[in-house]
Each structure stands twice: as structure tokens, then as C-alpha cells.
């Protein structure tokens, strides 16, 4: 019954997203097989329960014959126990597979962000990327716990129950199914509204996180210029946008559940009315009607749950769409190159810029125009110019943070385009104006990116830049 319109309740692009990220379940197929194998058992147990109820009512309770009631009661209890046991196995195995898949996805996404080119971080606020790694991943995890977890099993059970009802009485089943198209139409309409609201919500949340990160990072500047009120008002406006989108989704969610609840109540009334008429005409037994009414509860519980799950699923699909966009970003270098951390640095002899021109985008003005200079080993040069004259751009080109320059840049006579990125980064050191230190030891920060080096090499590097003068007096020295 629930599957009647499930393809309409999830868009074509959503199915593409689900298939794309379904690969993360493949390494954990053992748990998926266990969970799927439990579904036929629980489904059969559910049908057996209904059959036993019908037999107990029609064959024993109504005739007043209690001779075989004990055996059927034991069978009924056994069926319920089997259903309970394998329902638990299904839930545990599916949640286990989902949890492991999300861990893998989170790890891969973080690895992807490590390979983004520097120009990505020049153009995208850190808070937006952080929101994708945290808030969006959490939304997907919640969908497995609250929504998608029971969707597969409920779908199969619903189909089996409808089939059993057709077996009992086709006319009564058709009366029941009259409300299905209406439920599908309502769900499909409100799904689009909920999805749009959640897309706006995820976008505004990412913007809020980005602005919050930038504000805290630049708090000294904000306080120096007495801009606290301005910063607060902007953050408040971003928060209001997020709150409005969330409120809209809550209204749609409440409306969806209420409408589905009303439709299912009408369906129950129709079945009872039609069934009473048929019993009066002696077309079927009271046991069949009781089984129908009992099954109605089992049928519409998944429908009600699915109405609630639509909100969770749409939130997860919206998050998945944003994460997919992040996975689609170009990488600075192939993934396998990131692992090659011990690349021998170049014995630097000469750097030559020969008529180099560069712009940051197609149609943008050139930041560098026909720049030429030569830097030999032992030389010291200073790049002097106004803000925006291209000083930082020269450094960015030299460390291959940006490509697409015109002209020629060579290191030891080798064109920079042909020099592996890892080798360039291992050879050229850049001292930035804004220093960032990781929350680790001094030795870790000095040796960052150089795996395999020992304490001796770290100390030599500290002495080379005269850092040993303030490191030596510290308690713990390099492990401070």
C-alpha cells in the first residue's frame, strides 16, 4: 500500500543520490544480508498471527468450543515471539550497516576536503564546509535511526498484508484501497514543500555557521572597531532566516500527519461499515471483519510513520544533496598522491618567472602582467607593491595553489606545471602573516607534513629559524 506511490514521493534526483551513496553499504553487506533475510520471517509471522486470530474467533470462540484453544494460543504466542526476535535482528543489523556506512562517508568527505585546492578555501567560508561535515552528516545519521531504518521492512510487510486481505475478501480490500491515491497525492504535494523548506534551512544554517566562525575568528577586530552591534544584527538576521525555514517545514510536517491521520480514520470507518453490511448479508464471518480491523491498524501504522518519516527523509536528502556537491568539487591532486608524504625535495638552484601573466577567473582583469624575474640559490629579494598588485599571487603560483598562468615558471629549469605538487610543497616553505598552530606539541607543528622525521631533524629546523631560543626554556621542550 505504501509502495503504491513511493516513486512519486521521492524525486528522480533523490534516487540518483541514494544510488550514488549506496556504495558505502557494499563493504558492510554482511549486515545488510542479515537484516534483509529477517524481513521474510517477520512478514510471515505477521500473516500467521492474523490467520491464527481468524481461526480462534471463527472456529473456537463463536461456536463456544475451547477444546483446541490452548494449542492455538501457544502457536499465537510463538508467532509473536518469533516476530519480536527477528524484528530486533533486522533493526540491529540495518542500523549497524547504516552507522558503519556513515562513518566511511564522513571519513571520505574529510579526506576530500584535505585535497581541495587552496582556491576553494579562498572562495568558500570555512563554516559552510564545516556545516557539511557536521550538521549535514548528523541529519543523514538521524534519518537512518528514525526514518529509513523501518522503511524497507514496512514496505514489504504492507504489500504482504494487502495480499492477505485480498485473499480473505477482495471487495473489502478494494474499499480500503480507495483512500490510497488521496494519501499519495497529499504526501507528494507536501513532500515538495518540505524539501524546499529544508533546502532553504540547510543553506541558511551553513551561512550562519560560516558567519559565526568568521566572527569569532575576527573578534579582536570587531571589538577594536566597536562593531559588536553590527555583527549581532547580521547574525540575528541569518538566524531568523533559518528559523523561518524551519517553522515552514514544521507546519508542513504537522499538516501532513494530521491529514493522513484523518484519511486513515475515514478508511477505517468505511471498512467497518462495509463489513457490517456484508456480515448482515452473511457474505463473510465476523472473524474476517475482526482480522480486517486488526490489519487496518497494522497497515496504517506504517502509513502514519511514513508521513512522519517524510520530514526526516527530506532533511536527509537535502543534506545528501549538499554533501554530493562537496564530493563533486575538483581536487588539488589525485587521492593516491596525498599518501606520498615522503617525496624527496628539490635541491633548489634557480627559480625563473618569464613573462608571467595571471587572472583569477575567465573575464577577470590580469593581476600579474608580463612579470619576469630570476631568483638563484642564496639570493634574497623583496616584492614591494600596493595592496592587490600581485605579491601574494606570485607566492600562490609558486606553491601551485593556483594554475592557469600564462608564460613560464621554472624551478631548476623544469616547468612548474610538470613538477609534482607534493614535491613543490615539500621544497617551498611559506611563512604567513596569520600563523595557525594546531592544538598539539611544538614538535608536531614544526614537523607537520613530514612523516618519518625524528626529534633531531625537528630540533635542527627550530635552530634554522631561531625558534630554539624560546622553545628550549619551555618545560618539556619540543613536546610542550
Which pLDDT tens digit goes with each residue over 248-271? 878 887 787 788 778 877 877 887
135 and 40 in one domain? yes
Q: Which one has a higher pLDDT value, 171 or 335?
A: 171
Q: How many CB atoms lie within 10 A of CB 260?
A: 24
261 and 181 in one domain? yes
pLDDT tens, 149-168?
566 677 777 788 788 778 77
292 and 158 in one domain? yes
Nearest CA among 329, 227, 306, 195 for reference residue 260 = 306
Task: Name the one residue in this structure whose C-alpha cell is 600563523.
Answer: 435
Rounded to whole angstroms, the Cα distance separating 135 from 132 reads 6
Query: What pLDDT is attached to residue 81?
Result: 94
Any domain includes 338: no
| Torsion sign over Cα 421, 424, 425, 426 | positive
Query: What pLDDT is attached to residue 333?
Result: 64
448 and 423 in one domain? no
Any domain includes 435: no
pLDDT tens, 359-411?
887 778 888 899 898 888 888 888 888 877 888 888 888 888 888 888 998 88
Any domain includes 436: no
Nearest CA among 95, 90, 76 for reference residue 157 = 90
Query: What pLDDT is attached to residue 478?
Result: 64
Query: What pLDDT is attached to residue 85?
Result: 93
pLDDT tens, 209-246?
888 878 887 787 787 778 888 888 888 888 888 888 88
In the structure, what pLDDT confidence band is assigned to residue 82 with cuts at 50, 70 and 90? very high
Task: Name the one residue in this structure whose C-alpha cell is 634557480.
Answer: 350
Task: Count helices and strands (H / E) in the chain.
Answer: 19, 4
Query: What pLDDT is attached to residue 408?
Result: 92
Cα dist from 337 to 345, 421, 428, whole Å: 15, 9, 18
259 and 296 in one domain? yes
Rounded to whole angstroms, the Cα distance separating 433 from 34 reads 56
Rounded to whole angstroms, the Cα distance separating 35 from 99 reads 14
Average pLDDT, the chain: 78
218 and 72 in one domain? yes
pLDDT tens, 125-146?
777 788 788 878 877 777 765 5
Q: Which domain holds residue 446?
A: 442-479
Rounded to whole angstroms, the Cα distance separating 84 from 94 reads 16
Q: In the listed set 402, 427, 452, which residue is the last one of a domain according to the structure? A: 427
The burial of 103, by beta-carbon neighbours within 10 Å (0-12 exposed, 13-18 middle, 19 or more buried), is given as middle
Rounded to whole angstroms, the Cα distance separating 322 from 140 reads 11
**Is this model's pTM higher than 0.75 or not?**
no
- Structurally, how many domains does the chain consist of? 3
355 and 267 in one domain? no
416 and 289 in one domain? no
Any domain includes 71: yes
Q: What 3-state class would DSSP assign to 192?
A: helix
Q: Which one has a higher pLDDT value, 45 or 279?
A: 45
34 and 177 in one domain? yes
Q: In the listed set 264, 292, 327, which residue is the last one of a domain according to the structure? A: 327
360 and 453 in one domain? no
pLDDT tens, 415-466?
888 888 878 877 777 777 667 677 777 777 777 766 667 777 777 777 777 7
The burial of 115, by beta-carbon neighbours within 10 Å (0-12 exposed, 13-18 middle, 19 or more buried), is given as middle
Any domain includes 332: no
362 and 236 in one domain? no
Rounded to whole angstroms, the Cα distance separating 209 from 202 reads 10
Any domain includes 343: no
Any domain includes 280: yes
What's 401's domain CATH number?
3.40.50.300
What's 252's domain CATH number?
1.20.1560.10
Query: What pLDDT is attached to residue 309?
Result: 66
Any domain includes 413: yes
383 and 241 in one domain? no
Instruction: Tell me: pLDDT of 38 over 60.
Output: yes
Amino acid at each position: 500500500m505504501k509502495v503504491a506511490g513511493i516513486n512519486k514521493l521521492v524525486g528522480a534526483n533523490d534516487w540518483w543520490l541514494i544510488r550514488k551513496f549506496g556504495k558505502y553499504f557494499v563493504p558492510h553487506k554482511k549486515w545488510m544480508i542479515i537484516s534483509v533475510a529477517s524481513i521474510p520471517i517477520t512478514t510471515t509471522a505477521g500473516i500467521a498471527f492474523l490467520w491464527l486470530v481468524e481461526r480462534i474467533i471463527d472456529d473456537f470462540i463463536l461456536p463456544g468450543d475451547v477444546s483446541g484453544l490452548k494449542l492455538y494460543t501457544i502457536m499465537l504466542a510463538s508467532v509473536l515471539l518469533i516476530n519480536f526476535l527477528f524484528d530486533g535482528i533486522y533493526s540491529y543489523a540495518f542500523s549497524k550497516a547504516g552507522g558503519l556506512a556513515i562513518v566511511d562517508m564522513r571519513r571520505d568527505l574529510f579526506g576530500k576536503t584535505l585535497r581541495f585546492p587552496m582556491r576553494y578555501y579562498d572562495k568558500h567560508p570555512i563554516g559552510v564546509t564545516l556545516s557539511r561535515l557536521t550538521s549535514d552528516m548528523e541529519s543523514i545519521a538521524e534519518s537512518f535511526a528514525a526514518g529509513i531504518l523501518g522503511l524497507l521492512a514496512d514496505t514489504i510487510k504492507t504489500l504482504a498484508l494487502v495480499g492477505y486481505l485480498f485473499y480473505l475478501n477482495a471487495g473489502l480490500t478494494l474499499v480500503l484501497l480507495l483512500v490510497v491515491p488521496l494519501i499519495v497525492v497529499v504526501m507528494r504535494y507536501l513532500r515538495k514543500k518540505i524539501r524546499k523548506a529544508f533546502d532553504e534551512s540547510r543553506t541558511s544554517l551553513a551561512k550562519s555557521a560560516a558567519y559565526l566562525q568568521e566572527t569569532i575568528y575576527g573578534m579582536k577586530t570587531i571589538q577594536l572597531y566597536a562593531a559588536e552591534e553590527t555583527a549581532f544584527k547580521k547574525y540575528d538576521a541569518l538566524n531568523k532566516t533559518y528559523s523561518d525555514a524551519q517553522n515552514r517545514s514544521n507546519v508542513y510536517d504537522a499538516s501532513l500527519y494530521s491529514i493522513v491521520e484523518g484519511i486513515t480514520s475515514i478508511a477505517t470507518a468505511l471498512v467497518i461499515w462495509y463489513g457490517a453490511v456484508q456480515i448482515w448479508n452473511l457474505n463473510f464471518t465476523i472473524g474476517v471483519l475482526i482480522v480486517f480491523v486488526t490489519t487496518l491498524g497494522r497497515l496504517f501504522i506504517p502509513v502514519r510513520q511514513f508521513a512522519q518519516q517524510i520530514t526526516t527523509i527530506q532533511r536527509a536528502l537535502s543534506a545528501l544533496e549538499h554533501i554530493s556537491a562537496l564530493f563533486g568539487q575538483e581536487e588539488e591532486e589525485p587521492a593516491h598522491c596525498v599518501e606520498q608524504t615522503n617525496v624527496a625535495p628539490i635541491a633548489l638552484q634557480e627559480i625563473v618567472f618569464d613573462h608571467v601573466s595571471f587572472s583569477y577567473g575567465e573575464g577577470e582583469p590580469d593581476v600579474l602582467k608580463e612579470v619576469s624575474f630570476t631568483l638563484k640559490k642564496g639570493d634574497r629579494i623583496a616584492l614591494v607593491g600596493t595592496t592587490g598588485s600581485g605579491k601574494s599571487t606570485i607566492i600562490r603560483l609558486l606553491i601551485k595553489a593556483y594554475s592557469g598562468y600564462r608564460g613560464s615558471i621554472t624551478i631548476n629549469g623544469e616547468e612548474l606545471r610538470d613538477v609534482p605538487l607534493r614535491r613543490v610543497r615539500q621544497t617551498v616553505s611559506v611563512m604567513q602573516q596569520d600563523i595557525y598552530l594546531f592544538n598539539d606539541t611544538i614538535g608536531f607543528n614544526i614537523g607537520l607534513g613530514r612523516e618519518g622525521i625524528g626529534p633531531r631533524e625537528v630540533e635542527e629546523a627550530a635552530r634554522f629559524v631561531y625558534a630554539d631560543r624560546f622553545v628550549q626554556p619551555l618545560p618539556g621542550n619540543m613536546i610542550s
